[in-house]
Amino acid sequence: MASLEGEAMKYIGICGRGALLAVAVVLPAMAQAAESNSATTTLVNPGAAEKSQFGAADKIYTPEEIRSAKPLEWAPAPNADPRYQSGNTFREEPPPVTEPPRTRRPGAPNANGEREAQKAFSDQWRMLYDMDRKNRSAPTPDSGAGSGSTGTSAGFSASGDDPVKDSIDFGTADTYTAYLGNYWLNQQQAYPWKVIGKLLIDGGGYCTAQSITGAPKNIIVTAAHCVYDVGRGFKSGWTFVPAERNGAAPYGQYRWASARVLNAWISGGGRRNDVAIIRLQNNPTTGRPVSYYTGWLGWRMNFPYVRNLHSIGYASNISTLYTSMCTAETYSASCEGTDVLVKGCNMTYGSSGGAWISNYKPYQVSGYVEGVVSGPSCTGSFGNTYVAPHFSSANLGVLCSAEGGCTTP
């Protein structure tokens, strides 16, 4: 593992082939809490009480700090594959998936969670009501769809729950439908949008993340480059703000308890290894876990490469103030390697770690995360095609096993 000793320092870490640029602060105090086994390495928050879900509220972000946070940037994609650059007609057979499918279902928030959140975080809800009043008198923003897309800002579609019937023949680079995420309060309060949030990085920067278990584990999943810079070490800390919009935190803020990455990511990066899990402390004001207010998404691994998936993130090229979404068919490409999904989408910086979701059914407890945003692709144009680690026994499965399972009792 890379050393974390020495003075606190700012740096830019280059994470190898197809890796990502990240700015962070590494603090030597964190070195004392790092734990490693043969497959993963974990950083434990020294500010969290041992064996406690609560810990100390060692950082609370103001609305101004949340709004001003800058997204992590991406490094260039691997060298472009010219076969994909000529008319979007080239196709490759996806690799076989040899491990059996695994899945855990999504979960609903507590029936009293919404009412209690509006009482506990009343100042944040007042901000949201003011925003909605202003939004009603302003034109709805464009979804930012590029010229190579089918994107519009209107509507969304649901996808089914059958992993075989949902599979389609192939995906196409630079082709997708784009639309707004939690721009309106009624969506911000609803499942699944409320489960996704902004992941603020101490020392600067933000990504996207989402809950995948309820209490007591309180696990969120994001991209590894949002957690650990290859050749440098762990970033210095994280705060999860579910359903964040324009600086408002309607369900509170949640500090990290521990962060876990694959040793394969530490030793060399790689798109397939670009996934991390973070365990959260409870909210310091209410003592509640995040899932009490938001619920959580399910997850799937070892499912087919070719899928109809929706993706979500706080994409700075569209807006840092609310989430954006894309839907498209996924595919695999040899220039990306195994356990990597590719699909069309117009999101860039800030969407890192955002979920790629199957069984997406708006306003219902639904949705399974099958990957998270990693970066640009060797098959399409920047800002119109990107990639995610394909969740499998070799990446998310290893992380979850080290946590004793990404499960909810």
Q: What average pLDDT does the segment 44-52 reach?
A: 71
- Say if 68 falls within a structural domain: yes
Residue at token pair 């087919």: 304
Phi/psi class of residue 302: alpha, beta or left (left: φ > 0; alpha: ψ in -120 to 50)? left
- Say if 87 falls within a structural domain: no
286 band by pLDDT with thresholds 50, 70 and 90: very high
Q: How far apart are the first and last CA of the chain?
A: 33
- Say if 88 falls within a structural domain: no
Q: What is the pLDDT of residue 131?
A: 84
Structure tokens at 27: 């603090």
Q: Which residues contact 23 (CB under 8 A, 6 or more apart)?
A: 10, 11, 12, 72, 203, 204, 205
Q: What average pLDDT does the segment 184-209 reach?
A: 92
Higher pLDDT, 387 or 145: 387
SS3 per residue for 41-75 = EEEECCCCCCCCCCCCCCCCCCHHHHHHCCECCCC
Cβ–Cβ < 8 Å for 251, 293: yes
Q: What average pLDDT does the segment 156-178 reach?
A: 56
Structure tokens at 251: 């369900």
Q: Tell me, what CATH number does 255's domain have? A: 2.40.10.10
Q: What average pLDDT does the segment 174-197 reach?
A: 86
Helix (H) or strand (E) segment spanning residue 9: strand 9-12
Distance CA 23, CA 255 (A): 20
- Say if 407 falls within a structural domain: no
322 has a pLDDT exceeding 80: yes
Distance CA 47, CA 57 (A): 8
Helix (H) or strand (E) segment spanning residue 123: helix 122-136
Higher pLDDT, 141 or 21: 141
Give me the phi and psi of 31, to 5 degrees please: -60, -30
With the C-alpha atoms ordered 333, 337, 343, 347, is the resulting torsion angle positive or negative?
negative
Q: Which residues contact 7 (CB under 8 A, 6 or more apart)?
A: 28
- Say if 95 falls within a structural domain: no
**108-117, 173-182, 306-315: lowest mean pLDDT where?**
173-182
Q: What is the pLDDT of residue 16?
A: 36
Three-class DSSP category at 193: helix
Distance CA 40, CA 327 (A): 32
Give how many domains the chain has, as a whole number. 1
- Say if 218 falls within a structural domain: yes
- Say if 300 falls within a structural domain: yes
56 has a pLDDT exceeding 70: no
- Say if 212 falls within a structural domain: yes
- Nearest CA among 271, 187, 240 for reference residue 16: 271
**Across all residues in the chain, what is the average pLDDT?**
84
Residue 36 domain boundaries: 9-79+101-402
Q: What is the pLDDT of residue 84?
A: 87
Q: What average pLDDT does the segment 178-186 reach?
A: 82
Percent of the residues in the chain that have a pLDDT greater than 70, as a whole number: 80
49 band by pLDDT with thresholds 50, 70 and 90: low
Give me the phi and psi of 299, to 5 degrees please: -140, 155
pLDDT tens readout for residues 123-164: 999 999 888 887 776 666 665 654 344 443 334 445 544 443
